[in-house]
Amino acid sequence: MKKAMLCLLICTVAVMAGGKTVYDFTLNSIDGQPAPLAAYKGKVVLLVNVASRCGYTPQYAALESIYEKYKDRGFVIVGIPANNFGGQEPGTNQEIKMFCSSKYNVTFPMMAKVSVKGEDTTPLYQYLTDKAANPQTGGEIKWNFTKFLVGPDGRVITRFEPEVTPDAPQVATAIEKALSSLKS
């Protein structure tokens, strides 16, 4: 009986999680305003947990470059600062915003700092890393600049680990493929 109840519970959670998309979540913008991800419905979105003092921080330049290249075709990057790895994002939201605009001329949307790992993980990242909801792309965030490519339906298409740069051929191919699914 206990096994049956456990199985039923697991199946229920999987079914409930399976119906969610990234559009069910709201973050705060870097300026502190509610930023529902539903605003990006119908677009291809790259969600990236970012940090200002990381060995991967120069990826901001490539992120801005691919944003500029594809934004007019329905592509958006959402930068999500997190201080979960080595204290590499210690600043306030205002300091992060200033750093991104002055050092890398970031124009893509930036969110307020959140936690992407641990007991205080923000609900969006609980969903993104949930293996039941996202069997192909779920799993713990290992470091800054993990990238989740999301289709126009709000479902995660693929995940790129930090060492895969935003301008890598496999990223461009995945973005192009996702963009080709958009209605003109």
Amino acid 2 reads: K
Of 7, 11, 54, 100, which residue is the catalytic one? 54
- Asked if 49 and 80 touch (Cβ cutoff 8 Å), the reply is yes
Q: What is the DSSP letter of 25?
A: -
Strands 147-150 and 156-160: antiparallel
Q: Is 54 among the residues known to form the active site? A: yes
CB 17 within 8 Å of CB 10: no
Please state, in angstroms and rounded to a whole number, the distance separating the CA atoms of residues 140 and 150: 18
- From CA 8, how far away is CA 73, in angstroms rounded? 43
What positions carry a catalytic annotation?
54
